[in-house]
Amino acid sequence: MKLTGTIARILMSGAMLLAGCATFESSRTSGTFVRSTDFSALDTFSYGHTLITGTASRNSQEDVLKDLSQQVLTEELHARGFETLESGEDFYVVVKWRKELSAYAGMFDPIDGPTATMARRASAPSTAAVRFTLIVELYASAGHVLFWRAELANIFEAIQFSEARVSQSLRRAIQPFPERIEKDPNLPNIDLGGFSVN
């Protein structure tokens, strides 16, 4: 009887884990607004720069991180309805990659998902590894004020570096950022003591 109860608990735990894995990509979010901002005023952006810190990377890897960061985030923001400008933009993007030794990575942190993480752990002699952390920040151009941030810690191990993982990580980071607000040009302007509302 005890054995049957133990088996049932093991099966129930396994089912819960698999259910969590199935909803992993759709339910996980990473980014959030860090201060109040007038989102309706955001129409245009520019790509600021990519900062790479921590353990030294090969020049070829740094080139990939810089190129894909700009390319992927520009594509994602265009898909949300924002327009690129060389100057005079409403906000700009800064990407930070940090490469460092990490003693532990949560099961849901890596881009490959929990199942691949568990399999990798089972075959690895230690959980310590050099891993990449990704930070995406959006700044209002007026005053250079940070208003949105996403951080994906230990997103993949340095030994797993690939263009696909870099691109997937960037898309996951920006995924929660909303689409541009479409303003109806037919709405009348209302003058509120010096403020114009469209």
Residue 8 lies in a domain: no
Query: Rounded to whole angstroms, how far apart are CA atoms 148 and 169?
Result: 17
CATH number of the domain within which 165 lies: 3.30.160
Query: Rounded to whole angstroms, how far apart are CA atoms 58 and 152?
Result: 22
pLDDT averaged over 10-residue windows placed end to end, the chain, 198 residues: 49 44 45 94 97 90 97 98 96 97 72 62 69 97 97 92 97 97 73 53
Residue 14 lies in a domain: no
> Would residue 21 be called left, alpha or beta, if left means φ above 0 and alpha means ψ between -120 and 50 degrees?
alpha
Residue 98 lies in a domain: yes
Residue 61 lies in a domain: yes
Determine the structural domain holding residue 177 and report its residue range: 30-181
What pLDDT is stored for residue 101 in this prediction?
A: 92
Residues 6+ apart with CB under 8 A from 166: 64, 65, 68, 69, 72
The pTM for the full model equals 0.74
Question: How does pLDDT run across 105-126, given as a tens digit for each residue?
Answer: 666 677 766 665 555 655 565 6
Question: How does pLDDT run across 62-76, given as a tens digit for each residue?
Answer: 999 999 999 999 999
